[in-house]
Amino acid sequence: MSKNPLDKKIGILGAGQLGKMLFQASTKLNLDISFLDSSVEMPVGRISDRVYIGNFKDYDDVIAFGADKDVISIEIEAVNVDALQQLENDGKQVFPQPSVVRLIQDKGTQKEFFRINELVSPSFQLVESKEHLQSSIDSGDITFPFVQKLRRDGYDGRGVCVINTKQDMDDAFDSPCVIEDLVDISKELSVIVARGKSGEIAVYDPVEMVVNPEANVLDFQLAPAAIDKAKSDEAKKLAIDTANKLEIVGLLAVELFLDINNELWINELAPRAHNSGHHSIESCQTSQYEQQLRCILGLPLGSTALLSPSLLMNILGDPHHTGPAIYQGLAACLEKKGVHPHLYGKTITKPMRKMGHITIVNSNLEEAKDIYHYIKSTLKVISHE
């Protein structure tokens, strides 16, 4: 007899802020959930004693962690996929599937997947080194301007370089990379899709992302995006098509560009909960975190309906401070209407490090923007050291 879904032992690779919010969602269903990461000082460890010490990139550590679990999932994709594949071979349920994680870990194989499946994405070439890139420029195969992305291990804007002229080549990466045509962007969008074991789909409305130019990380995000219904439906369809062609079980974040000609392009994918879906905790019927748990346990998916428009802003470490974190001005921010802070529990602040986020729930997004500007000027993550 198969085990009741709510009685299954769940193992999550990673115990960062996404894991923390996943754990908080799990308490509603009283789930047996554990995490693997390098320290109990990770965000999950601040609220749970179920963090096991190990390296989620190490084959043996992942195998040992998964040995007594029924279901294994992730909160970060930079994990040992060979170990996940072996656990799946051993009869464990692993979602998202190891094959999907392996594909998405490499931006080159992501781009090949888009091309093969006729999913619209900027044109690209693959290069192995800076010398290879220079040779392709000299031959005319690659022309300025272009975007260079590391094939592996880039995150939060790291591993992305815009090369406008030959003078910028000093900043180019000397590693295997994707070279993409530069899109003239009007808006950056994101769509979160949840796909269950049976192929059931739940899709969230597109959100609009505004990137901090200094840190190249999300500054704030608007839900819903300021686009018309036809374009919103097109974005959701594109995200659903991508999830179905991947046959993913779990969450898929589909980052999109809307260009100045009102055309959509897929930028890249994340097979997990995503910064652009944090708002769902307060402003949607079902959060992305609860949705991930429903997916991997084979439970019915929840409604993605937007209860209220919202603005989500990241709380970033002050660029001039490193050391034990102090949240200066937080109390004043809490006086504002609809402010919902999430502090991740990271003890050390660093320049532009993600230390938390705030969701401002407000039916009037212009009011929400005013509150955002107030918080931006009032809340500082500093250190006395």
Distances (CA, A) of 204 to 153, 232, 251, 323: 27, 10, 11, 37
For residues 327-338, b (16+ Cβ closer than 10 Å) or e, as one string? beebeebeebeb
Q: In the numeric block, which tokens belong to residue 155?
A: 């995150």
Q: In the numeric block, which tokens belong to residue 341?
A: 């802070």
CB 65 within 8 A of CB 42: no
Cβ atoms < 10 Å from Cβ of 26: 20
Question: What separation, in Å, do the N-terminal and C-terminal C-alpha atoms of the chain show?
Answer: 58
Cβ atoms < 10 Å from Cβ of 140: 7
For the chain, domains (ranges, CATH) are 5-94 (3.40.50.20), 123-181 (3.30.1490.20), 185-382 (3.30.470.20)
CB 264 within 8 A of CB 258: yes
Please tell me whether residue 109 adopts helix, strand or coil conformation: helix
pTM: 0.95
pLDDT tens, the chain, 385 aa long:
468 999 999 999 999 999 999 999 999 999 999 999 999 999 999 999 999 999 999 999 999 999 999 999 999 999 999 999 999 999 999 999 999 999 999 999 999 999 999 999 999 999 999 999 999 999 999 999 999 999 998 766 678 989 999 999 998 999 999 999 999 999 999 999 999 999 999 999 999 999 887 777 889 999 999 999 999 999 999 999 999 999 999 999 999 999 999 999 999 999 999 999 999 999 999 999 999 999 999 999 999 999 999 999 999 999 999 999 999 999 999 999 999 999 999 999 999 999 999 999 999 999 999 999 999 999 999 997 6
Q: Which amino acid is at 262?
A: N
Please tell me whether residue 240 adopts helix, strand or coil conformation: helix
Sign of CA dihedral 55, 59, 62, 68: negative
Cα angle at 132 between 131 and 136, to 5 degrees?
115
Q: φ, ψ for residue 331 (rounded to 5)?
A: -60, -40
Task: Give the separation between CA 355 and CA 193, rounded to whole angstroms.
Answer: 26
Q: What share of the chain is helix, strand, coil (3-state, %, to 5)?
A: 30, 30, 40
Cβ atoms < 10 Å from Cβ of 174: 11
Number of H helices, E strands in the chain: 11, 22
Helices (H), the chain: 17-26, 59-66, 81-89, 98-105, 107-116, 130-138, 229-246, 280-283, 288-297, 330-333, 365-378
